Amino acid sequence: MSNYSLDFSGDEDFRPLAARMRPETLEQYIGQQHILSQGKPLRRALEAGHIHSMILWGPPGTGKTTLAEVAANYANAEVERVSAVTSGVKEIRAAIEKARENKLGGRRTILFVDEVHRFNKSQQDAFLPHIEDGTVTFIGATTENPSFELNNALLSRARVYKLTSLSKEEIHLALQQAISDSERGLGKIPAKFADNVLERLAELVNGDARMSLNYLELLYDMAQEDDQGEKEVTLQLLAEVAGEKVSRFDNKGDIWYDLISAVHKSIRGSNPDAALYWSARMIAAGCDPLYIARRLLAIASEDIGNADPRAMQVALSAWDCFTRVGPAEGERAIAQAIVYLACAPKSNAVYTAWKQALRDAHNEPEYEVPPHLRNAPTNLMKDLGYGAEYRYAHDEPGAYAAGERYLPPEMAQTRYYYPTNRGLETKIGEKLDYLASLDAKSPQKRYE
């Protein structure tokens, strides 16, 4: 059976450091405190040995596989592992058959499916009857949004838990544990670290614990010994292992935040040259270009908005291009988006309007939906006046029901969105002013 295993049958020392340091208990597990801190429902369930089918969704190196194994330890369950990348029908059937044998013997089975999103819909459906009859407890791991990549039938039978990238402090803790652990880690190997090496490494890996331990192991392998036989781990060595530009970022990571701030402010200030320069500085220093692409999406919404709605699509297309063609051509697409956003007309009107709407939603009373806006799918609801006298805009002149109201009566005069006189918002403002004039003249005002 080709079900992969994280363990090697040989000497423990031949396993990669990341595998040797894999936690076996919740106390050893680092990160994901939003679902695993004391008192959280998932932690209580695991500690009681009560496991349920679940989907673990998160970036690489966030502990999805580890959490499945920890769950198995607490439930005294056997784990059958299937990779959607390398396994087919034969491997799935073999795993299910083993689970049936375990069930007959009174032992639970966790079926762990790595990268479950790579299975097509019919392959995902094949798990359902075995989840239904209790043959397996299903745990799927995915880096993709389950809402888009997994069957609704599978989602309805499994709880989705979102795992997040580890913080720099959590990565640093994982590194320290590996360095000090004499049984599973590197504690038996004398080593000394130059100032800030571990801090830089923690910044570099973008919250991926597995990557951080892989880099740490490489550092030990490549480090030279001094006269006392201690490994010397330096910033220069880290730069050689992880990329020559790593050393461009400063001790505390301040330059990183200064650079991305400069990118954002240069685009907001409509200076394409400065925006290109600061972005190039970030990429030359080892920044993941997709980090900049994500920031461009935020800028398109926050600083451009409806002054040029195409800015959002340009930024999204640049991200998509990078993921399809790779860094060489993809970086040019990101540069194109940077220039477009910098040259686009600017508006924060949507950003400001949304913030105010959120403040009101949190701070104002929860006003009822006016009856004419309510849906009335039943006769009872119609008798209660739901949907009464609703004016269907498409039946009105110009597809606009002049004088109609859509906010609660208590908020009838509230306004959030004030378009600027820049870009497309000039036209939007003119239209809203025209509609407001129709409202003012309308004899069919719902309420003032």
Number of domains present in the structure of the chain: 4
Q: What CATH number does the domain containing 378 carry?
A: 1.10.3710.10
Angstrom distance (rounded) from CA 416 to CA 396:
25
pLDDT (0 to 100) of residue 22 = 94
> How does DSSP classify residue 281?
H
Q: What is the pTM of this model?
A: 0.56
Q: Same structural domain for residues 99 and 52?
A: yes
CA nearest neighbour of 286 among 264, 315, 253: 253
Q: What CATH number does the domain containing 334 carry?
A: 1.20.272.10
DSSP H or E segment with residue 257: helix 254-268
Last residue of a domain, one of 105, 129, 162: 162
Look up the domain containing 389 and give its range: 349-441
Q: What is the mean pLDDT of each run of 10 residues along the chain (448 residues)?
A: 39 78 95 96 95 94 95 95 86 93 94 93 91 95 89 94 94 96 93 91 89 93 88 89 55 67 96 97 86 94 97 96 88 97 98 96 93 83 79 94 93 95 96 95 84
pLDDT (0 to 100) of residue 13 = 58
Provide φ and ψ at 402, rounded to 5°.
Answer: -60, 135
Q: How many CB atoms lie within 10 A of CB 102?
A: 17
Q: Same structural domain for residues 241 and 225?
A: yes
Last residue of a domain, one of 194, 216, 245: 245
Angstrom distance (rounded) from CA 237 to CA 385:
74
Task: List C-alpha distances in Å: 443 to 401, 403, 439.
Answer: 11, 7, 9
Q: Same structural domain for residues 138 and 265?
A: no
Beta strands in 53-130 (DSSP E): 54-57, 78-83, 109-114
pLDDT (0 to 100) of residue 240 = 84
Residues 6+ apart with CB under 8 A from 390: 372, 373
Last residue of a domain, one of 245, 277, 292: 245
Specify if 4 maps to a domain: no
Q: Same structural domain for residues 142 and 38?
A: yes
Angstrom distance (rounded) from CA 52 to CA 138:
8
Specify if 5 maps to a domain: no
Q: Same structural domain for residues 136 and 56?
A: yes
**What distance lies between CA 431 and its chain's CA centroid?**
38
Q: Same structural domain for residues 137 and 21?
A: yes
